[in-house]
């Protein structure tokens, strides 16, 4: 999968705060707008939308809104809002990043400090455990670089391999690296298949596929549930959209955030960073994506109650399929205990 797929959430999290810094001169903001629009015109995946984007931004610029912004944070927030009003794209936006070319000399270059932060986050795998009734639980808050996350993903799936059902919690997933998403998805399919087609402007489509080989056993022929929320973003949405469309998982929770287009990050002037969607994600099963609409759950439930509800649903599925009477009795007791908790 394209290296910069679905990385807006990763980069946004890494940007430094600049609260308290003086506002740029109005002329600098004029130049920022000019350069940002030129980059969008050259890079945005849907060039037919550029005219409307420019008209909207120029209208607000001529009204003096950008020059009047009290801080750079307010300025970039305004610009981002106006861009998204037209594109409805969660990956389109402007960030304030002082000395951006020093901080990030190349798009998606990861600094040693960021590598260390990824390690301290356990490469996005926040929690792995076995719930009562032998139901596995995996909480993934972000998909980090696949070369670093590979062993951690393999270790988590090995730990969960003997469970009878699995819950994957993506409610707080910030998106991230598409290749790590592909790797995790690979554990749930026997054969190589296309998860999505990536259509980049002026290029041939790319196929994002599952891996032919994974470390350890695949998680096949067992029920899998995925928890989602309005916070589930980007690569997290790609995972649920692909698996839901192939009826491999049951989604429980709320509609996801709706950011599906792969993006790139481009420096603007000396102190700004522009995120521009440069591709479109299309599911080969449905023929569509989730940009602007999100991925709808199979079972809609409130966020706070979601884990308990999906745990009970998993236990009921195992109970109904149990051929051993002792196992069935045990599962009934687990359900009763869960209801009392």
The model's pLDDT over 73-87, given as tens digits with 9 standing for 90+, comes to 999 999 999 999 999
Domain spans in the chain, listed from the N-terminal domain onward: 17-96, 112-263+278-301
Question: Looking at the predicted structure, is the pLDDT value of residue 2 above 80?
Answer: no
Question: Looking at the predicted structure, is the pLDDT value of residue 118 above 60?
Answer: yes
Query: What average pLDDT does this structure show over 203-225?
Result: 96
Confidence category of residue 102, pLDDT binned at 50, 70, 90: confident
- Residue 313 near residue 225 (C-beta atoms within 8 A): yes
pLDDT for the residue 14: 42
Query: What average pLDDT does this structure show over 166-191?
Result: 97
For CA atoms 56, 57, 60, 62, give the dihedral sign. Answer: negative
Query: What average pLDDT does this structure show over 36-54?
Result: 97
The model's pLDDT over 249-280, given as tens digits with 9 standing for 90+, comes to 999 999 999 999 999 999 999 999 999 999 99
Q: Residue 319: enclosing H or E segment and its boundaries?
A: helix 306-321
Query: What average pLDDT does this structure show over 144-151?
Result: 95
pLDDT for the residue 16: 32
Nearest Cα neighbor of 271 from 154, 132, 21, 96 is: 96
Q: What is the mean pLDDT of the chain?
A: 91
Query: What average pLDDT does this structure show over 226-244?
Result: 97
Structure tokens at 230: 């309005």
Query: What average pLDDT does this structure show over 315-336?
Result: 96
Question: Which CATH number applies to 112-263+278-301?
Answer: 3.90.226.10
pLDDT for the residue 75: 97
Question: Looking at the predicted structure, is the pLDDT value of residue 295 above 90?
Answer: yes
Question: Which CATH number applies to 17-96?
Answer: 3.30.750
CA distances from 123 to 14, 52, 78, 229, 253 (A): 15, 40, 33, 21, 24
88: left (phi over 0), alpha (psi -120 to 50) or beta: left
Query: What average pLDDT does this structure show over 12-41?
Result: 73
Question: Looking at the predicted structure, is the pLDDT value of residue 23 above 90?
Answer: no
Round to the nearest angstrom and report the end-to-end CA distance of the chain.
Answer: 43
Q: Residue 207: enclosing H or E segment and its boundaries?
A: strand 206-209
pLDDT for the residue 25: 81
pLDDT for the residue 310: 98
Confidence category of residue 105, pLDDT binned at 50, 70, 90: low
C-alpha span between 24 and 130 (Å, rounded): 53
């Amino acid at each position: 999968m394209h290296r910069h797929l679905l990385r807006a959430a990763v980069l946004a999290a890494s940007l430094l705060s600049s609260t308290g810094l003086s506002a740029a001169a109005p002329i600098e903001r004029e130049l920022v707008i000019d350069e940002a629009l030129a980059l969008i015109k050259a890079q945005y995946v849907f060039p037919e939308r550029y005219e409307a984007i420019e008209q909207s931004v120029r209208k607000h610029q001529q009204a003096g809104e950008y020059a009047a912004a009290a801080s750079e944070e307010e300025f970039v927030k305004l610009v981002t809002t106006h861009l998204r009003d037209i594109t409805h794209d969660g990956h389109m936006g402007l960030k304030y990043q002082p000395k951006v070319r020093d901080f990030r000399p190349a798009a998606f270059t990861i600094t040693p400090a960021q590598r260390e932060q990824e390690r301290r986050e356990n490469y996005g795998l926040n929690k792995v455990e076995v719930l009562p009734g032998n139901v596995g639980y995996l909480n993934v808050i972000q998909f980090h670089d696949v070369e670093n996350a590979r062993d951690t993903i393999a270790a988590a799936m090995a730990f969960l391999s003997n469970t009878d059902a699995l819950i994957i919690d993506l409610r707080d997933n910030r998106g991230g690296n598409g290749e790590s998403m592909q790797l995790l998805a690979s554990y749930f399919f026997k054969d190589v298949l296309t998860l999505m087609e990536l259509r980049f402007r002026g290029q041939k489509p790319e196929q994002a596929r599952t891996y032919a080989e994974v470390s350890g056993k695949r998680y096949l022929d067992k029920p899998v549930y995925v928890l989602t929320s309005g916070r589930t973003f980007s690569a997290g949405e790609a995972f649920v959209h692909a698996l839901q469309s192939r009826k491999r998982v049951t989604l429980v929770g709320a509609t996801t955030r709706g950011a599906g287009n792969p993006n790139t990050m481009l420096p603007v002037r000396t102190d700004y960073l522009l995120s521009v969607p440069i591709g479109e994600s299309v599911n080969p099963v449905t023929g569509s994506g989730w940009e602007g609409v999100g991925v709808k759950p199979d079972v809609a439930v409130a966020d706070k109650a979601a884990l308990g509800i999906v745990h009970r649903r998993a236990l009921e599925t195992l109970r109904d399929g149990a051929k051993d009477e002792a196992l069935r009795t045990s599962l009934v007791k687990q359900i009763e205990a869960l209801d009392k908790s």
